[in-house]
Amino acid sequence: MKMKHGWIYLLLLSILVTGCNASNTSQGKKNEKTATSQSKKNEKTAKTQSKATKQKRPARSVAIQKLDDSKMNIVIFLNRAEHVVEDVYYAAIDHTKGKTAHEDGITYLELPKRFDSKDKVIAYFSKFWSRSLSEALYDNLSTKQIKNKLYVAIPNVDYPVLISVRNTAVEKLNSEIRVSVQNVTDPAFSSDRTLRYQLMRDDKTKRYEIKSRMGTYGNDQFQ
C-alpha cells in the first residue's frame, strides 16, 4: 500500500515540475516576443524620425564643382552665370497660374514657388556667384512682396553676352581660376567689351564660384 502511494506521489511531483517548466518556457517565449516587437517598433520610430529630419533640412545650393577639366566647362559655367537674372524673369513669364500686379505704371509678375522668396532667389544665384555678388544681383531686381508672394518687374534693359572658347582665355592657379573674355558684346552696346572673372573655391563647399567680375559692361547689375 505504501509502495502504491509512493508512486502516486512521484507521479504528482513529476506533473507539477513539468507544468512549472512549461509555464516558464511559455512565459519566456512571450517575453522574448514582446521584446522583439518593441525593438522593431523602436527601430521603425527611429527611421521615421530620421526621415522627417532629412525632409525638414533645407537643401543647400552650391556652385558647380568640375571646372578644372576643360575651358569649355568654364565657358558653359560663365554663360549660365551671366543669365541667372533672365532665368528668374522667364520663370515669372512662364508661371501660368501667377498673378499680375500694377503699381505706379510698373507691372509686377508673381514668381513660382522655386523663386517665391528672397532667400530662394539668392540661393539660386549662389550656384554661380559669391554670396556678396548674389545679394547685389538680387538688390538690383525690382521686386515686391504682395500677400506673402514675391513679384518681379521685368525691365526693358538687357546685357547680351558672347562667351565662347574662341574669345576666352583661362589661367589656372593653385586656388583660383582667372578668366578673360574679349569682345564679349557688340560694339554698339559698349566701348569696353572685356570682362575678367576670378573664380575661387568656397571654403565650406570646396566648389568654384565667381568672386569678382571686372569690366564696365553690365557692371551696374552688381552695384
Which residue range(s) make up the domain with 204?
60-82+159-223
Residue 46: its pLDDT value, please?
58
d(CA 57, CA 190): 45
Q: Do 222 and 201 have their domain in common?
A: yes
Asked if pLDDT for residue 15 goes beyond 70, the answer is no
Q: Do 127 and 170 have their domain in common?
A: no
State whether the Cα torsion 113-117-119-124 is positive or negative: positive
3 state DSSP class of 157: coil
Give domain status of residue 166, yes or no. Answer: yes
* Phi, then psi, of 197 in degrees rounded to 5: -120, 145
Number of structural domains (the chain) is: 2
**Average of pLDDT values for 153-182?**
95
10 Å Cβ neighbour count for 80? 14
- How would you label 108-142 residue by residue, b for 16+ Cβ within 10 Å and e otherwise? bbbbbeebbeeebbbbbbbbbbbeebbbbbbeebe
Q: What is the mean pLDDT of the chain?
A: 83
Task: Give me the percent of the chain exceeding a pLDDT of 90.
Answer: 64
Which of 28-32, 40-44, 45-49, 173-177 shows the lowest per-residue confidence on average (mean pLDDT)? 28-32
CATH number at residue 196: 3.10.450
- Last residue in a domain, options 133, 153, 173: 153
Residue 150: its pLDDT value, please?
98
Residue 165: its pLDDT value, please?
97
Give domain status of residue 53, yes or no. Answer: no
Hey, what amino acid is at 209?
E
The pTM assigned to this predicted structure is 0.71
State the pLDDT confidence band at 2, using cuts at 50, 70 and 90: very low
**Residue among 208, 190, 87 nearest 138 (CA):** 87
Q: Do 109 and 145 have their domain in common?
A: yes
Q: Do 168 and 223 have their domain in common?
A: yes
Which of 92-101, 169-178, 199-208, 209-218 shows the lowest per-residue confidence on average (mean pLDDT)? 199-208
- Last residue in a domain, options 96, 125, 153: 153
Q: Do 77 and 163 have their domain in common?
A: yes
44 to 31, 37, 49, 50, 107: CA distances (angstroms) = 20, 11, 9, 10, 52
